[in-house]
Amino acid sequence: MALTILILRLAVCILAFPMYLLDFLGLWNWICKQWFPYFLARFTVTYNEQMASKKRELFSNLQEFTGPSGKLSLLELGCGTGANFKFYPSGCQVTCIDPNPNFEKFLIKSIAQNSHLQFEHFIVAAGENMHQVATGSMDVVVCTLVLCSVKNQEQILQEVRRVLRPGGAFYFMEHVADKPSTWNYFWQQVLDPVWYLLFDGCNLTRESWKALEQARFSKLKLQHLQAPLSWELVRPHIYGYAVK
């Protein structure tokens, strides 16, 4: 089986040779950073339609974590185009962080469409180093479809715990690796190298639940599901929240 996967990976990489050539020349990362926000703006519309009930379920108890100020301070990690904004409660104070500055114009549009929120600011930074966010300053941190593409999940979760106040919560919804016995897992392994390059560092085969289980949260509520998505490769999901 491993040899079959290797042969198929090689075949796919040959077909994707122009993309690998651009990457070798140092051009692909710039191209990807430019086009990816446009792709994500379209993808998240469909994703929100297909996952709306799960997102409403996930965020239904956000207000339980409102801090002493009386307003919910929320940090969205890897905010992208602001696709989660409509699921947040009124009056929520939202700070966004993303390493790609090209998302800002999409965020501005989302902010205008979600006037029930109080937008604080947009920080251009990677989640592994959120030094611009004060320790213990957030009631809630949210990330959806982010842990698949970060460089270091353990460091990200360490930073999440740092910026959360005691008793604050981390909400997540992520696509993950399928069960090893499935054909979907087989194709995830075959396509993972090209997928990673094409979709700005996204990994198909990450077992993100393991990093969450090892992150030393005081409480972890995590569920697996097969999401009702058109793309079978990203149907395996985890979602839930963890309390500091």
HEC string for 125-137: CCCCCCCCCCCCC
Of the candidates 235, 238, 228, 198, the one whose C-alpha atom is nearest the C-alpha of residue 40 is: 198
pLDDT at 239: 97
Classify domain 1-243 at the CATH class level: alpha beta
For residues 6 and 14, what is the distance between their CA atoms, to the nearest angstrom? Answer: 12
The domain limits of the chain are 1-243
Give phi and psi for 101, each to the nearest 5. -65, -15
**Residue 56 clears pLDDT 90, i.e. is over it:** yes
Cβ–Cβ under 8 Å, residues 83 and 47: yes
In this prediction, residue 244 has a pLDDT band, given cuts at 50, 70 and 90, of very high
How does pLDDT run across 199-217, given as a tens digit for each residue?
Answer: 989 999 999 999 999 999 9
Return the amino acid letter for 50. Q
pLDDT at 69: 84
How does pLDDT run across 147-183, given as a tens digit for each residue?
Answer: 999 999 999 999 999 999 999 999 999 999 999 989 9
Of the candidates 204, 208, 186, the one whose C-alpha atom is nearest the C-alpha of residue 194 is: 204
**Residue 90 clears pLDDT 90, i.e. is over it:** yes
Alpha carbon 76 to chain centroid distance? 9
Cβ–Cβ under 8 Å, residues 91 and 118: yes
| Strand ranges for 66-163 from DSSP E | 73-77, 93-98, 118-124, 138-144
For residues 128 and 154, what is the distance between their CA atoms, to the nearest angstrom? Answer: 9
Task: Provide the 8-state DSSP code for 171.
Answer: E
Of the candidates 205, 195, 208, the one whose C-alpha atom is nearest the C-alpha of residue 156 is: 208
